[in-house]
Amino acid sequence: MNSSVKREEPLRAVITIEITSDDYKDEYKTRRNKLARDAKFPGFRPGKVPTSLIEKRFGAALKTEVVNDTLNKELMRLADEEKLHLFGQPLLINEKELSFDADPITFIFHAALRPEVNIPLDKSIELPYYTSTISEASIDREDQRLRDRNRNQINPESVSVEAKDMLIGKLTEVEPEEGQEPVVVEKTYLMPSMMKNKAGEAFEGKKVGDIVRYNPFNAAEGNEQELASTLRLDKEKAVNHKGDFDFTIEEISRSIAPELGGEYYKKCFGESTDIKEETSYRNKLKELIEESQKERANTIFENQLQEVLKERLGNPELDKETLMKVFFKEEELEKLSKDEVEKRYNNLTKALLHTTLIDETARNNDIKVEQEEISKYIADMTWRQLLQYGIPPEMIGQFGQDFLKRNLENEEMIYNAHYSVLSRKLAEAAKERISVKEESLSEEDFEAKFNEILAAQAAEEEEQKTQEEQTEKTDN
């Protein structure tokens, strides 16, 4: 096997791999013989199928499979030995001229390379670390937030459904596909306030014993994981059930605001809490706010660090030709204007350079992320999401477990969690290595800085959503 790597500008590797029959013949024979042993052909006993018949029936496909496996192993070896840090997969550029009957078989790839990042985290980087004072108004808001989170649960039978109620009951498919049994889910949980497309409005004013017809597919906007959780089916099966379902309300689980007192303090802070009166309670709330402000201060610092790293990296010229072919479909781009294509490319490179900065700077400083850290991040985020919906902890139960399971299986969420954890660990390491000066701000200025970050993130998410919607339209 002959392999070579040639580096070109801008940031491209040309990879050439020549695979001869000697490189794969032994593996080919091993797989062919195994196939002959396992294959079932009329007129032949198991294990007695002639290899000539296997060659005739499966030879070409088997050869292609073995050659591709040999190729992928060589690509991985080259990437490791040549220290090729790539954006996406290498792009095969001689596919039209490629012949698996040739010997050797020559593969030529273009690979888009990441720019080299060697930005030291040292005292040449100077950043402020913002803190803030805490007012009585902030403590009042925290009190209200904590009361909302720790509302008392009741199960009224003679009242009608209100916003944020959790409903427990039986879900039955109205019109299953011909020849199929209807999907029936016993004792499932629904949160009408979390439903999309105003589907939750169908439940308003209903009581225990009422049957409500709604469409889970529309309520979830076709989200396969959400549907799978609701219907208790595999994702691949759940998305095929796009019709109406009847939900029989068996229980209404509602939360009401608590009053201050010993039982409430125990509910908030545990049975062993020594908080027994309002002054101690408010002091505890101040501690909680300080913890929250520390998290926000870390987010601001992390964002500032990333901006400094971006500035020092500059604007390296990437392999646009290869990147466009690797990350976008040609037929998709043909339906867009030049400005739209350029906008998509700019968004792509912005995201790629962002992850490259974090990856490479973390690698240079021996910072890694473990799977347990990713799972914990997603679990904590899921818990916060449910609390934001106004669901008290004791009401989360099975509904929360299903929600968490869905998030832990979401590849996009896992990807984002990985970079969130890595970025935070990088920022924590930077505090010990760069020049950091603490600076106190008013509550208003502190919140303004934090909200700037939230607004920028929201704008990016909206831009991504718009791009996905445009892609969906062009595909249709």
Mean pLDDT of 454-468: 81
Question: How many Cα atoms within 13 Å fall on the side-chain side of residue 427?
Answer: 23
CA 299 to CA 450: how far, in whole Å?
A: 8
CA torsion angle 361 366 371 372 (round to 10): -120
**What gap in Å lies between CA 10 and CA 113, rounded to an integer?**
9
Please tell me the predicted confidence (pLDDT) of residue 151: 77
Position 396 confidence tier, pLDDT thresholds 50, 70, 90 = low
Rounded Cα–Cα distance for residues 299 and 378 (Å): 17
Highest-confidence range of 199-213, 384-398, 399-413, by mean pLDDT? 199-213
pLDDT exceeds cutoff 80 at 386: no
Segment 131-174, tens digit of pLDDT: 999 999 999 999 998 888 787 777 777 678 887 888 999 999 99
Helical segments of 84-213, H only:
136-149
Q: What is the distance between the alpha carbons of residues 25 and 16, in angstroms, rounded to a whole number?
A: 21
Average pLDDT, the chain: 90
CA 192 to chain CA mean position, Å: 24
Express each pLDDT in 277-320 by its tens digit: 999 999 999 999 999 999 999 999 999 999 999 999 999 999 99
CA dihedral 243, 473, 92, 105 (to 10 degrees): 50
- pLDDT reported for residue 297: 97
Task: Work out the pLDDT band at 475, boundaries 50, 70, 90.
Answer: low
Q: What are phi and psi of 96, to 5 degrees?
A: -65, -35
